[in-house]
Amino acid sequence: MNISKIANLKFFYTKTQRISIYLSFSTFVLFCIGIYWGLFIAPEDYLQGNSYRIMYVHVPAAWLSLQTYMIMAVTAFIALVWKIKIMEIISIQCAPIGAFFTIIALVTGMIWGKPTWGTYWVWDARLTSELILLFLYIGVIVLYSSFVDKRQAIKITSLLSIIGLINIPIIHYSVEWWNTLHQGPTVTKFDKPSAHITMLLPLLYMFIVFNLYFLAVMIQRIRLGIYIREKNSKWMEDLSND
């Protein structure tokens, strides 16, 4: 399919409603399967017991918090340089989704940290840099909302998104660069993963499910952004009257 056709706001808005509905329903079903797999089928960890099971939500949420930011920054760069409308919408709509994943990652990490570290929070390098990520998302949301001129708002938020990319490798490599309480890589050690295959498979499955959830919500958020931007246009009025 022609990329320029997908980037057309009218085409995207009219062709993705059904896809969004199917994705949302599928994600809910797959999420329920994944939660059952992680809570009741995956074996108990010999060190952490059942408390480790929160990783089936915590780890995918943490991954998605980084992935969403990178998508936001890349689309912000494209919007800033080439001024493609749908990229502007994608960039700004990534912010609340990324903030949501980051909050989940932080809260579930705190819940896991209490029985593991004896406290809900420490100013650990990984935790602190993840908290900074949340502030970056909030900064984008607040800055965009504070400008009446949305074209100017996109320029400012795009610059913030691009500058904030420096925090992504800090989050990812913090457990290797500094002596932290947070455990090291588990899944990305492909030669010898720390997790047993019976624990690793449901984790990878949940990562796929979280990505499907991101896609479903992203489509809905883009449609909302298109509606807000084009609600006074002729094609939107014609569509509403049909």
In a structure prediction context, what are the per-residue pLDDT tens digits for the chain, which is 242 residues long?
556 677 899 999 999 989 989 999 999 999 999 999 999 999 998 778 888 899 999 999 999 999 999 999 999 999 999 999 999 999 999 999 999 999 999 999 999 988 888 888 888 889 999 999 999 999 999 999 999 999 999 999 999 999 999 999 999 888 777 666 566 555 554 455 567 899 999 999 999 999 999 999 999 999 999 999 999 999 998 888 87
CA–CA distance, 148 with 128 (Å, rounded to integer): 32
Task: Read off the pTM.
Answer: 0.92
Per-residue confidence (pLDDT) for residue 190, from 0 to 100: 43
Burial of 157 per CB tally in 10 Å (0-12, 13-18, 19+): buried
**Would you state the pLDDT for residue 91?**
98
At 91, the amino acid letter reads S
Contact (Cβ atoms closer than 8 angstroms) between residue 20 and residue 226: no
Side-chain half-sphere exposure of 23, counting CA atoms within 13 A: 18
Distance CA 173, CA 125 (A): 10
CB 96 within 8 A of CB 134: no
Contact indicator for 212, 32 with CB cutoff of 8 Å: no
Residue whose pair of structure tokens reads 């588990």 in the numeric block: 186
17-232 topology per CATH: Four Helix Bundle (Hemerythrin (Met), subunit A) (1.20.120)
Return d(Cα 81, Cα 45) in angstroms, integer.
Answer: 49
**Alpha-carbon radius of gyration of the chain:** 20
